[in-house]
């Protein structure tokens, strides 16, 4: 098959080389953006007098026909034509002849692929903003459903202080909001058109890249053609941002996994979201959660691949850059399905209130509240900490909670303790007595819930 670039070659390309260098097997995913970019480019060429009006009509219609064929699955992508760009261009020329031969005027695949990839990334990125919002809504709904449920709050995975489940769930809402912010930042930097940079140097032809940029919804046009064709920061940044989404999902998954162990038994996972064992008939495994946790590894792999490909790469375009796509596609596909699954998983989980309450009674989680009580009565905190430490030791030795100690016993550790100490002991009192900003107090959690309800309202 004759290559679009075949003019200076006498020999055919080695078949092994064709297979090795092709990208059409994966970059065909860019067909929509490639066609959109080509139409905008042709329109710009027409405005600049480089393509006739009739030529433009033929190009536009030809490209739209090709797009329909691709969507119908009848378009035949050919490996000898290397990539999606040359496949579509060759098909256009087959269809409309000479007008099609003008499309690549003042354009190179270098600015073309950068443009396609930016358009594709921008679309994918916008999808993530919506998916993250959906995950946030799922968490918010769960938080509201169990707005009064107190759970053990952990540090070092040891019982620390009692908190509201809603407070815990809203912590993930915050994480996903930062992810949305990062993606928004990425979008703003990404949204600069590279089209019209040509191979690297620009062109001697009278083109108007700014008008094409505007047509394609870019905020502005590149200012340095060399940078425009060699920049893939946006891919790395986008995948980096997705790594953090995956990281957050892995933390949520791990939290849920811990809660789902028989030792904790805090959650009842919907059967539709669990899997069984091929040998142990009794098993109900949370494989979905494990995969959510595990997918994170793929994401870091994708990011590491990208960082490594671009390290030390000289200006401007180098074929190494073709290696950007599979990592990007994999990262996008993986995080997209992860977010979809995670949102449903949150929605279908029920919390086992009695088990949670039983766990709350363990671990003397009201010890800090007792120390604060002493502080309120003028005891310096370090001294209070020491005294409560001794109270806990005594309670633990007797196998009782702090609440179960008699006033007389409690007073033996500090003379400032009085009857009202029972208003601070116990998880319920602890939660009700929190008052600081952003704390697990019912009113502060209520405030957070209301803020998110407003922000996430459809
Ligand atoms: N398939 C190539 C890529 O994805 C397109 C650009 C090729 N440009 C070139 N001059 N060989 O990077």
Domain-embedded: residue 1: no
Domain count within the chain:
3
Of 269, 245, 248, 242, the C-alpha closest to 257 is: 269
Residue 32 appears among annotated catalytic residues: no
pLDDT at 2: 80
Summarize pLDDT for 166-184 with one digit per residue, the tens.
Answer: 999 999 999 999 999 999 9
Phi, psi of 402, deg, nearest 5: -65, -35
Model confidence at 458, pLDDT cuts 50, 70, 90, reads confident
Q: What pLDDT is recorded for position 284?
A: 80
Please report whether residue 79 resides in a domain.
yes
**The domain boundary residue, chosen from 61, 78, 105:** 105
Is residue 1 over pLDDT 90? Answer: no
Are 286 and 374 part of one and the same domain?
Answer: no
Is 207 within a domain?
no
| β-bridge pairing 220-221 and 192-193 | parallel
pTM above 0.85, yes or no: yes
Q: Does any domain span residue 209? A: no
Question: Tell me: the pLDDT tens digits for 64-107?
Answer: 999 999 999 999 999 999 999 999 999 999 999 999 999 999 99
| Same domain, yes or no: 382 and 443 | yes
Nearest alpha carbon, ligand 1 atom 4 = 322
Please choose, from the candidates 58, 70, 251, the residue with its C-alpha nearest in 3D space to the C-alpha of residue 157. 251
Share of the chain above pLDDT 90, in %: 94
Domain co-membership, 304 together with 247: yes
DSSP-based three-state secondary structure for 365: coil
Can you give 128-159 as a three-state secondary structure string? HHHHHHHHHHHHHHHHHHCCCCEEEEEECCEE
> Residues 310, 279: one domain?
yes
Q: How confident is the model at residue 272, as a pLDDT? A: 82
User: Are 384 and 441 within one domain?
Assistant: yes
User: DSSP characters for 278-343?
Assistant: SS-TT--B-HHHHHHHHHHHHHHHHHHHHHHHHTTPPSS--GGGGGHHHHHHHHHHHHHHHHHHHH
Q: Which residue lies with its CA nearest to atom 7 of ligand 1?
A: 109
User: What is the whole-number distance in angstroms between the Cα of residue 111 and the centre of ligand 1?
Assistant: 9
The answer as to whether 183 is a domain residue is yes
Question: Domain limits at 98?
Answer: 6-105
Take atom 12 of ligand 1 and give the residue whose Cα is closest: 322
How long a stretch of residues is the chain? 458
Structure tokens at 447: 């405030």
* pLDDT at residue number 269: 86
What local confidence, expressed as pLDDT, does residue 356 receive?
98
Q: Where residue 397 sits, what CATH number does that domain have? A: 1.10.40.30
Residue 298 lies in a domain: yes
CA distance 357 to 150: 7
Distance from C-alpha of 94 to C-alpha of 91, rounded to nearest angstrom = 5
Tokens encoding 281: 């008939």
Return the H-helix or E-strand segment holding 96: helix 84-96
CA distances from 18 to 61, 321, 427 (A): 30, 17, 68
**Could you give the 3-state DSSP secondary structure of residue 68?**
helix
196 falls in which pLDDT band (50, 70, 90)?
very high
Tell whether the model's pLDDT for residue 48 goes beyond 90.
yes
The answer on 180 and 76 residing in a single domain is: no
Helix (H) or strand (E) holding 193: strand 192-193
DSSP states of 197-233? -TTTT--SS---HHHHHHHTT-SEE-S-HHHHHH--H
| DSSP assignments along 391-455, one per residue | HHHHHHHHT--STTS-HHHHHTT-TT--GGGGGT-SHHHHHHH--STTSS-HHHHHHHHHHHHHH
Q: Share the mean pLDDT of the chain.
A: 97
Which of 309, 327, 358 is the last residue before a domain boundary? 358
- What pLDDT does 283 receive? 82
Domain CATH number, residue 22: 1.10.275.10
* pLDDT on residue 286: 86
Residues 168 and 267 grouped into a single domain: yes
Tell whether 252 and 346 lie within a shared domain: yes
Which of 230, 277, 406, 437 is labelled catalytic? 277
Give the integer Cα–Cα distance in Å for 117 and 119. 5
- Segment 21-44, tens digit of pLDDT: 999 999 999 999 999 999 999 999
Residue 47 is assigned to a structural domain of this protein = yes
Expressed in angstroms and rounded, the spacing between residue 58 Cα and the centre of ligand 1 is 26
- pLDDT, position 195: 98
Q: What is the average per-residue pLDDT within 44-73?
A: 98
* Local confidence band at 265 (pLDDT 50, 70, 90 cut-offs): very high
Mean pLDDT of the 109-116 span? 98
The domain boundary residue, chosen from 105, 125, 145: 105
Q: How confident is the model over 126-146, as a mean pLDDT?
A: 98
- Say whether both 137 and 157 belong to one domain: yes
For residue 129, being part of any structural domain is answered with yes
**Claim to verify: residue 255 and residue 114 sit in the same structural domain:** yes
Residue 109 Cα, ligand 1 centroid: separation in angstroms? Answer: 6
State how far the Cα of 219 lies from the Cα of 214, in Å rounded to an integer.
Answer: 7
Tell me the CATH number at 281. Answer: 1.20.200.10
Name every protein residue with a CB atom under 6 angstroms from any ligand 1 atom. 23, 27, 83, 109-110, 113, 317, 319, 321-322
- Residue showing tokens 């986008």: 238
Would residue 248 show up in a list of annotated catalytic residues for this protein? no
DSSP-assigned beta bridge partners for residue 237:
none
- Are residues 337 and 407 both part of a single domain? no
Could you tell me if 386 and 412 lie in one domain? Answer: yes
pLDDT of residue 275: 84
Label residue 274 by pLDDT band (50, 70, 90): confident
């Amino acid at each position: 098959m004759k290559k679009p670039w075949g003019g200076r070659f006498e020999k055919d390309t080695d078949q092994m080389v064709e297979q090795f260098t092709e990208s059409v097997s994966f970059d065909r995913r860019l067909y929509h953006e490639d066609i959109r970019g080509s139409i905008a480019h042709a329109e710009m060429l027409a405005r600049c007098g480089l393509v006739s009006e009739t030529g433009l009509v033929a190009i536009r219609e030809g490209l739209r026909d090709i797009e329909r064929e691709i969507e119908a699955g009848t378009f035949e992508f050919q490996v000898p034509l290397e990539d999606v760009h040359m496949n579509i261009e060759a098909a256009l020329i087959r269809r409309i002849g000479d007008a099609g031969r003008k499309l690549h005027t003042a354009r190179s695949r270098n600015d073309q692929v950068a443009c396609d990839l930016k358009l594709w990334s921008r679309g994918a990125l916008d999808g993530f903003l919506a998916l993250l919002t959906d995950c946030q809504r799922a968490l918010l709904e769960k938080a509201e459903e169990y707005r009064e449920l107190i759970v053990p709050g952990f540090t070092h995975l040891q019982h620390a202080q009692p908190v509201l489940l809603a407070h815990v769930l809203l912590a993930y809402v915050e994480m996903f909001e930062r992810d949305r912010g990062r993606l928004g930042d990425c979008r703003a930097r990404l949204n600069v058109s590279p089209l019209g940079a040509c191979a690297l140097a620009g062109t001697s032809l009278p083109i108007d890249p700014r008008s094409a940029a505007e047509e394609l919804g870019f905020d502005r046009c590149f200012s340095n053609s060399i940078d425009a064709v060699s920049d893939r920061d946006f891919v790395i940044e986008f995948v980096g941002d997705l790594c953090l989404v995956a990281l957050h999902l892995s933390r949520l998954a791990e939290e849920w996994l811990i809660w789902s162990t028989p030792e904790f038994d805090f959650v009842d996972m919907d059967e539709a979201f669990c899997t069984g064992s091929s040998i142990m008939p009794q098993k109900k495994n949370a494989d979905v959660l494990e995969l959510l946790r595990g997918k994170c590894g793929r994401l870091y792999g994708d990011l590491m691949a990208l960082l490594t490909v671009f390290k030390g790469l000289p200006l401007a375009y180098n074929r190494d850059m073709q290696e950007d796509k599979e990592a990007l596609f994999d990262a996008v596909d993986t995080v997209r399905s992860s977010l979809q699954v995670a949102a449903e998983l949150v929605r279908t989980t029920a919390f086992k209130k009695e088990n949670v309450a039983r766990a709350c009674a363990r671990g003397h989680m009201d010890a800090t509240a007792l120390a604060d009580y002493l502080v309120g009565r003028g005891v310096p905190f370090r001294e209070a900490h020491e005294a409560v430490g001794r109270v806990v030791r005594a309670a633990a030795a007797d196998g009782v909670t702090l609440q179960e100690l008699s006033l007389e016993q409690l007073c033996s550790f500090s003379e400032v303790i009085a009857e009202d100490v029972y208003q601070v002991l116990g998880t319920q009192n602890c939660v009700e007595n929190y008052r600081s900003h952003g704390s697990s107090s019912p009113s502060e959690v209520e405030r957070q819930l209301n803020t998110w309800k407003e922000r996430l309202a459809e």
